[in-house]
């Protein structure tokens, strides 16, 4: 048995310039949830640079694929042996369906789960296989075990995190990726302290979430750096103390504003020039945390002697280096208490699924903040 749904399918091969017409809404068949899987009605899904990276080829994935991984919805049906959620439960998707049994999970690092990583790379669900087929009956790949640019999704039960009834799902859709990555980098990876200075490079969804996280933990000053003035304006609105248009003098200006260099820098632009500026703007003993995904071919020359002499830490952080099942409900609760205004990351109006390709083009052009798809706005679901 299967259901017909509308979903945004990416086809073809990446070229030198992004071709957004490769992403279009099709009618696809979705299987019923199998053992350990759930069927979710997707309510809201937002556009993330990781979706864009598949389209541009910076993050090569098997195609065709239904994109989308940052989303929230309501459980419609559960397969056998699912105990964590019931039909009617509001859930946030997580793109690491951690198994709880591999070496990384046992180490308390579920975002590094080897089972989830293998599934995500293959474009399959964590337990293997695909649940999507196109009109010709050909299998379609899943994006990060989720594929949320669709009316419905069948995912591993470990790909959903229940949130309290009454949670605003539009805001909740941001929690699984942008918020987890940006806030998690601040609180889990860098463990920023009260009154420590921090510079955030790249103020898209993840960078802006880092600004919110820095506000929440009492960092000061918070310096936003970006090439787009609209992004800098958003960062100031969300609580950055100073906004710097990125150029060759960025590191020097950070050093001036922080009395010799920042305690922390967060690189969320995925660009080597930003990594270099972020590193140069640190004080001795400072810490650079990288969350932006650069092109896999990019290289950054690190001076080893300086790392030692300056006692500098350079680290990566994947999905906030945290525990999504612990962190996502925390972020939802902090938002509910008015202490983490993550709703302000999103643009004030949503787009319908039919405009997903235009939305991706706007994201690529530097749209400030998250673009959210209101999936239900498209009309009645096919049953
Ligand atoms: Zn994402
Ligand atoms: Zn695992």
Query: Per residue of the chain (383 residues), what is the pLDDT tens digit?
Result: 789 999 999 999 999 999 999 999 999 999 999 999 999 999 999 999 999 999 999 889 999 999 999 999 999 999 999 999 999 999 999 999 999 999 999 999 999 999 999 999 999 999 899 999 999 999 999 999 999 999 999 999 999 999 999 999 999 999 999 999 999 999 999 999 999 999 999 999 999 999 999 999 999 999 999 999 999 999 999 999 999 999 999 999 999 999 999 999 999 999 999 999 999 999 999 999 999 988 889 999 999 999 999 999 999 999 999 999 999 999 999 999 999 999 999 988 899 999 999 999 999 998 988 999 999 885 434 33
Q: Is 112 part of any domain?
A: yes
Distance (angstroms) between ligand 2 centre and the Cα of 318 equals 15
Rounded to the nearest angstrom, the distance between the alpha carbon of 181 and the centre of ligand 1 is 8
Q: Which of 278, 302, 318 is the last residue of a domain?
A: 318
- The torsion angles phi and psi of 73, rounded to 5 degrees, stand at -165, -160
- How many Å apart are CA 279 and CA 371, to the nearest integer? 30
Give the number of the ligand closest to the Cα of residue 291.
1
B/e letters for 76-102, b = 16+ CB within 10 Å, e = fewer, are: bbbbeebebbeeebbbbbbbbbbbeeb
Do 56 and 136 share a domain, yes or no?
yes
In a domain, 110, yes or no: yes
Are 231 and 134 members of one domain?
no
- For helices 250-257 and 272-280, the axis angle rounded to 10 degrees is 30
Same domain flag for 231 and 169: no
The verdict on residue 334 lying in a domain is no
Choose one of 282, 300, 318: the last residue of a domain: 318
Q: Residue for token digits 């959620």? A: 85
Boundary-marking domain end, from 318, 333, 354: 318
229 CA from centroid of ligand 2 (Å): 41
Would you state the pLDDT for residue 296?
86
62 in a domain, yes or no? yes
170 & 193 share domain: no
What per-residue string of b and e applies to 150-187 under the rule 16 or more CB within 10 Å gives b? bbbbbbbbbbbbbbeeebebbbbbbbbbbbbbbbbbbb
The predicted pLDDT at position 379 comes to: 44
64 and 131 together in one domain: yes
Residue 138 located in a structural domain: yes
What integer pLDDT is reported at residue 380 of this predicted model?
39
Q: Give me ligand 1 centre to Cα 48, in Å.
A: 5
**Token pair of 86, please?**
């019931």
Ligand minimally distant from the alpha carbon of residue 177: 1
| CATH number, residue 155 | 3.90.180.10
How many angstroms is it from 109 CA to the middle of ligand 2?
Answer: 8
Amino acid 348: pLDDT: 85
Predicted local confidence at residue 381, as pLDDT: 40
Judgement on whether residues 286 and 163 belong to the same structural domain of the protein? no
CATH number of domain containing 208? 3.40.50.720
Q: Which residue has the tokens 């994109």?
A: 67
CA of 224 to the centre of ligand 1 (A): 20
Cα 105 to ligand 1 centroid, rounded to whole Å:
21
- Residue 252 lies in domain: 178-318
- Least distant ligand from the CA of 96: 2
Question: Quick check: 312 and 282 in contact, CB under 8 A?
Answer: yes
The answer to whether residues 250 and 305 belong to one domain is: yes
Q: Are 169 and 76 found together in one domain?
A: yes
Instruction: For residues 40 and 168, state if they share a domain.
Output: yes
Q: Give the pLDDT score at 127.
A: 87
Shared-domain flag, residues 215 and 159:
no
Query: 205-217 and 229-237 helices cross at what angle (nearest 10)?
Result: 30
The reply to whether 133 falls in a domain is yes
CA of 44 to the centre of ligand 1 (A): 14
Residues 20 and 166 in one domain: yes
- For ligand 1, the distance from its centroid to the CA atom of residue 309, given in whole angstroms, is 36
Query: What total number of domains does the chain contain?
Result: 2
Domain membership of residue 330 (yes or no) is no
- Enter the pTM of the model: 0.94
Q: Are residues 105 and 138 in the same domain?
A: yes
From the CA of 148, the nearest ligand is 1
Residue 338 belongs to a domain: no
CA of 49 to the centre of ligand 1 (A): 6
- Span from the CA of 115 to the centroid of ligand 2 (angstroms): 5
**How far apart, in whole angstroms, are the C-alpha atoms of residue 374 and residue 363?**
16
């Amino acid at each position: 048995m299967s259901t017909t749904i509308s979903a945004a399918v990416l086809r073809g091969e990446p070229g030198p310039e992004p071709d957004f017409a490769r992403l279009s809404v099709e009618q696809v068949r979705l299987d019923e949830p199998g053992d350990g899987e759930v069927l979710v009605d997707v309510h809201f899904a937002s556009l993330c640079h990781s979706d864009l990276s598949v389209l541009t080829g910076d993050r090569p994935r098997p195609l065709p694929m239904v994109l989308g991984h940052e989303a929230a919805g309501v459980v419609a049906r559960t397969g056998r042996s699912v105990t964590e959620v019931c039909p009617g439960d509001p859930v946030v998707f997580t793109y690491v369906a951690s198994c709880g049994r591999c070496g990384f999970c046992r180490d308390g690092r579920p975002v590094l789960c080897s089972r989830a990583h293998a599934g995500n790379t293959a474009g399959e669900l964590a337990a293997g296989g695909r649940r999507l087929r196109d009109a010709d009956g050909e299998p379609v790949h899943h994006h990060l075990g989720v594929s949320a640019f669709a009316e419905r999704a069948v995912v591993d039960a470990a790909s959903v995190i229940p949130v309290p009834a009454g949670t605003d799902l539009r805001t909740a859709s941001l929690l699984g990726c942008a918020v987890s990555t940006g806030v998690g980098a601040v609180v889990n990876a860098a463990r920023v302290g009260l009154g420590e200075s921090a510079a955030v490079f790249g103020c898209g969804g993840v960078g802006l979430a880092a600004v919110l996280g820095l506000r929440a933990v009492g960092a000061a000053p918070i310096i936003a750096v970006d090439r787009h003035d609209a992004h800098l304006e958003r960062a100031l609105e969300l609580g950055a103390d100073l906004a710097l248009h990125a150029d060759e003098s960025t590191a020097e200006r950070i050093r001036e504003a922080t009395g010799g260099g920042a305690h922390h820098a967060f690189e969320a632009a995925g660009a080597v020039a930003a990594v270099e500026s972020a590193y140069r703007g640190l004080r001795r003993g400072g810490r650079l945390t990288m969350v932006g995904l650069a092109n896999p071919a990019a290289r950054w020359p690190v001076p080893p002697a300086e790392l030692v002499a300056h006692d500098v830490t350079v680290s990566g952080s994947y999905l906030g280096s945290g525990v999504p099942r612990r962190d996502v409900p925390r972020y939802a609760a902090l938002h509910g208490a008015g202490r983490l205004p993550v709703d302000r990351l999103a643009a004030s109006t949503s787009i319908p699924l039919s405009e997903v390709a235009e939305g991706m083009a706007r994201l690529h052009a530097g749209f400030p903040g998250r673009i959210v798809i209101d999936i239900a706005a498209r009309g009645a679901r096919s049953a």
